[in-house]
Structure formats: C-alpha cells, structure tokens
Amino acid sequence: MSNSITIIGAGLGGLTLARVLHVHGIPSKIYEAELSAEARTQGGQLDIHEHNGQAALDAAGLTDEFRAIIHAGGAASRVLDQHAAVLLDEPDDGTGARPEVLRGDLRRILIDSLPDYTIEWGRKVDTVRSLGDDRHELTFVDGSTVTTDFLVGADGAWSKIRPLLSDAKPEYVGTTFVETYLYDVDEKHSAAAEAVGDGAMYAPAPGKAIAAHREAGDIVHTYVQLNRPAEWFAGVDFTDAAAATARVAAEFDGWAPELTALITDGETAPIPRAIHALPDEHRWDRVPGVTLLGDAAHLMAPSGEGANLAMFDGAELGKAIAAHPDDIEGALAEYEEAMFVRSASEAADSHVILDLCLGEGAPYSMVDFFTGAASISG
C-alpha cells in the first residue's frame, strides 16, 4: 500500500477521511489553504443525519464527542408566511435523528482527534500535475512542491484537484443567499427572535425567502434567499453594508416587520453566497492515484445534505482503503461507483427542495414537505 496519502482541504470531508484512516492505523497528510483552524468563521448550524453524517462520525469513533456539542432544541422547525402567520410549528422531538451542531464545533472535534502533524496550515495549492506511475506533484503558492502516490481532492466547490479527473465546472443556479447575524436576540431583537422560535424558521414565497436559525449563544443566523440573475447581485455594492442591506430589504417590502428586521437589524455586513452546482450526474473515468469527495465531487444546491455527504464520502473512502490495503485502485473504484449513485440521487433531490422553498407553491409547498404531504423523491 502507498505510504503517501495526501488530502487537499481540511473541511469536514477531508478531516473525516483522515480520522477514519487514523482509526485504522493508516497515516495521511492534509494540506489546507487557511492559516489556522481559527482563520475564519466556519458557517452556521448543520443538522447531522443518522444515515450518513452520524454514520460517518461513528466510523470515526467520535459519537460521544458529537453528542456533547449538540444544540439542544435546535431541531425545531417552523414555516411562516410573509405576514409572519405561523403555518407550521414542529418542536424538537428529542429523538436525535437530525440533531443540530455548529459547523465550527464539528470541525474542531475532528481536528482534535488527529495527530498534530496531520494538518499543514497555510498550504494553498497553486497547480497540480501528473508525473505518471499514479503519482502527482502539487505546487503551492509559496513555490514549494510535494509529490504523492495517492491524492484526494477534498477542496470544495472550486477544487484544484478536480481538473485531473473532469472538465466539469460549477454553474450558477440562479439563486443567491445573503447572510447576516443578530446577537443577544432575546433582549435586543425580541420580535424577530420570537418569529424565529427555538430552531429553524422559513418564511418562503415564490422567488424569495427569509430563513433563519437560532444558534447557541442567543444568536440568530439569517439567510435571505433570492432568485435573481448574477448581474442583479453584481449591481449591489456589498462593500457598502448599509446600502446593500437596504437594497436586499427592498425586495421584501410589505412583509412583516419582525421578518424584515432579520435583514435590516443585521449586526454583521451582509455577505452574498451565490449558489453553484455541478451537473447532477457528475462522474469521471477512473484515473489512477486520485479521487474526489464532498463538494469537489458533487457540488449541489443547499438541501441539508452537503456536510453529511462530505463526511460520509470521507468515511466510506477511508473504510474502502482500510479494507483493501493492497489494492488501492480497487478501493477507489468501489468508493467512486457508490458515491456517484448516491450523489446523483441527492443532486436531483436538491432541485426539488429548492423549488419547494422558492417555487410557485411557496410557502405551502414547504408545509406539505414537513408534514409529509409532498416528498422529494418518487
């Protein structure tokens, strides 16, 4: 077996792969562009599902650590109309099937579970090339190079490793999320906090939505969702926080003030997150010595599955390598074939979920989804 397993990207998928390999006594090295684990905020809350995300953490031997970071009550969900009338209110049932955790906390327990030497921070890949004989050479932006016998691209939407396998590039799906935060919400923003409730709140309408999530520490994380062309967002000056906030809020003129306050009272500058996706059935022919996982392999519109799929990819790849230590290519073929099938199914579902949120049937289509009157797959 190769003694040179190189993982590009210290996101949840790459970290899970490294941890599962470590559990099986197989060393690996992660190269991460960020300067440290604390270099940036890691995003909001994630619901971690039993069949993929929790299964991956079990394979990583981190179930107890995961349970310790669950946000109790965070799995509550509610759907409101634009006038803040409650159409559906589902409390956290306490079953733990879809518990909520902060992405940063989840990343931390994965990092802490690895030997200190596993991750090299501040190592941003510039170029990668094949050397033949299944080997590849990475050149970093500082000019240094590394050669590897086995390369895994866990480097997200704009993967530097993907071109070794595929010509596919992410394309804008026509939707952008705009993020902002409120702090000390029960004291300073009580009306908005009451509208959000204890967990996730969705106020969708055709082509637009205000969604928010209560996070630990009396924080509300807002995601404004707009179906607009990329040119529309290019015309908004997001370097001017006040002007950008006013422009986005204007799209919700006439909505309930406790909902629009989630935009206008935002205590952080609004950040646009254009949603991109790879083709639904993105796959590639087997290329010796290299593979992909997570968004690098199957970027799709948000559906609640992205982090779960990335971790499951990492765990499944790690288990395949451990099961076939003398046949890495066989392990990769086994992993990729299963990954292609599950990711194609989830990508198709992601379109349905986006339509439930922002299509002509919103907000009632979302109510039907939560109550089981509508399903995402046949």
Per-run averaged pLDDT (10 residues), the chain, 378 residues: 79 98 97 88 80 96 95 83 96 73 94 96 97 94 96 98 98 97 96 95 97 92 97 97 98 98 97 97 96 98 91 98 93 96 95 93 93 64
Please report the pLDDT score of residue 186 as a whole number.
94
Q: At what angle do helices 306-323 and 12-23 cross, to 10 degrees?
A: 30
- The contacts of residue 320 (CB under 8 Å, 6+ apart) are 331, 332, 334, 335
The tokens for 190 are 């009580």
If we measure between CA atoms, which residue out of 62, 145, 148, 113 comes closest to residue 328? 148
Please report the pLDDT score of residue 161 as a whole number.
98
Please report the pLDDT score of residue 378 as a whole number.
40
Sheet strands (E) in 228-351: 271-277, 290-292
Q: How far apart are CA 101 and CA 99, in angstroms?
A: 7
Q: How far apart are CA 306 and CA 327, in angstroms?
A: 29
Between vectors from CA 317 to CA 312 and to CA 322, what angle results, nearest 5°?
A: 125
227 by DSSP, 3-state: which? strand
Residue-wise burial string across 115-143, b where 16 or more C-beta atoms lie within 10 A, e elsewhere: eeebbeeebebeebeeeeebbbebebeee
Pairing of strands 200-205, 208-215: antiparallel
Give per-residue pLDDT as tens, 2-57: 448 999 999 999 999 999 999 999 999 999 999 988 877 666 788 899 999 999 99
The tokens for 343 are 């990711």
What's the pTM?
0.94
Please report the pLDDT score of residue 4 as a whole number.
83
